[in-house]
Amino acid sequence: MVKLIDIFKKNFQADILDSHEQQGNETIVVSPERLHDVLGFAKNDPETLLNALMDLCAVDYLGQGPRFEVVYHLYSTSKNHRLRIKTRVPEENPKVKTCVDLWKSADWFEREAWDMLGIVFEGHPNLKRLLLFDGFEGHPLRKDYKINRRQKIPEPLERP
Amino acid sequence: MRLKVESKKMSSVVENNFLTTKLSELVAWGRKNSLWPLPFGTACCAIEFMGAVDSVFDISRFGAELVRFSPRQADLLLVLGTINYKQAPVLKKVYEQMTEPKWVVAVGSCATCGGFYDNYSVLQGIDEVIPVDVYVPGCPPRPESILLAIVRLQEKICKEAVGEKPELYIYKPHSVRK
Ligand code: SF4
């Protein structure tokens, strides 16, 4: 069986920054600029056909090079294989292109990643808070968000 | 209209049917024995309240059994569980919709001080948004603690009616944040 990693390496050569595999659990790391192309390829290529975005999340590596990592967990319902695609974005400009055009499920995933970690998804149709309320300041899953920081209590909603 | 009553009969009427008291005390007596609770249950503590209502603990012995789910019909707000920032305005609105006089009991650590949730989403005690009359400690408190809170609240209602200061473990409303 062909490894997914090899398929991507063949097609994207220099854009695959890193890759590893353990017990069939395959991961590739790509640059944020080429991320959308790689995702589009992953979804549509007849060899990979990763048609389901299972999860999208972000990780905060406080104090490291590019601080944030955005992680995509993909699954193919027809081929029954999985792939994890990661990309690193810097603290000053935590931006990646949205993938709502590829998978509709990305809509809420991306809003959650924006809400909790402050990753900006360019081109997202409705990038606003999902779990927290509108007046919330900051992104609480960032490691430098103070644990005892308190927010202003939101006002009661008026009846429409 | 003039009442014509035989003197003997009149004295028996007075003997059997009159009580003298102050109006405020009479009203307080009525209020304390017919509290209508509104449970604002968001977490585990609400299960303890269900225990307090059941036949074993039997909250009806204290006259507070008529659980209402409309703030307009209740005069005792029982906050049972974790209240987070998103719920705070809802809780405040429910409190405001209750008719006067009204009382609030914060049940469990979460409602009194945020419990073990020292984090970005949980309100550190409901007294940040509404005044609280009795705080019940515990995580979760036993149903008896909820019953004790009702007894303490009844004492408070009586004492306030005669102008006495309630005891220390019963808190005055404080720190209402706008
Ligand atoms: S105080 Fe404890 S038992 Fe009560 S709601 Fe909070 S966590 Fe649950």
Q: Does B140 sit in the ligand 1 pocket, CB within 6 Å? A: yes
* Segment 13-52 of chain B within 8 Å of chain A by CB: none
User: Tokens 């408070």, residue?
Assistant: B156
Q: Tell me the average pLDDT across B63-88.
A: 92
Residue A63 carries which DSSP code?
Answer: T
Q: Is the pLDDT of residue B177 over 60?
A: no
Distance from C-alpha of A124 to C-alpha of B91, rounded to nearest angstrom: 33
Per the CB < 8 A criterion, the answer to whether A84 and A59 are in contact is: no
And the tokens for B83?
């209240």
Three-state DSSP class for residue B18? coil
For ligand 1, atom 6, which residue shows the shortest CA distance? B110
For residue A96, the distance in angstroms to the closest alpha carbon of chain B comes to 26
With beta carbons less than 8 A apart as the criterion, state whether B154 and B29 touch.
no
pLDDT tens-place string over residues B145-155: 999 999 989 98
Output the tens digit of pLDDT for each of chain A's 160 residues.
678 888 998 888 888 999 999 988 999 999 999 999 999 999 999 988 999 999 999 999 999 889 999 999 999 999 999 999 999 999 999 999 999 999 999 999 999 999 999 999 999 999 999 999 888 899 999 999 998 888 888 876 666 6
Helix (H) or strand (E) holding B105: strand B103-107
Question: Tell me: the pLDDT tens digits for B14-68?
Answer: 677 777 888 888 888 999 999 999 999 999 999 999 999 999 999 999 988 889 8
Confidence (pLDDT) at A101: 93
Please judge whether A145 and B120 are an interchain contact, meaning their C-beta atoms are less than 8 angstroms apart: yes
The answer to whether the CB of A8 falls within 8 A of the CB of A38 is yes
Q: Do A132 and B93 touch (CB under 8 A)?
A: no
Report helix, strand or coil for B73: helix
pLDDT tops 60 at residue B81:
yes
Query: 3-state DSSP call for residue A77?
Result: coil
Phi, psi of B126 (to 5 degrees): -75, -10
- The verdict on a CB contact (< 8 Å) between B121 and A132 is yes
C-alpha gyration radius of chain B? 20
Write the DSSP symbol of residue A49: -
- Of the CA atoms within 13 Å of residue A69, those in its CB half-sphere come to 16
Yes or no: say if B38 and B100 are a contact pair by the CB < 8 Å rule.
Answer: no
Beta A52-60 vs A68-75: how paired, if at all?
antiparallel
Say yes or no: B84 contacts chain A, CB-CB below 8 A.
Answer: no
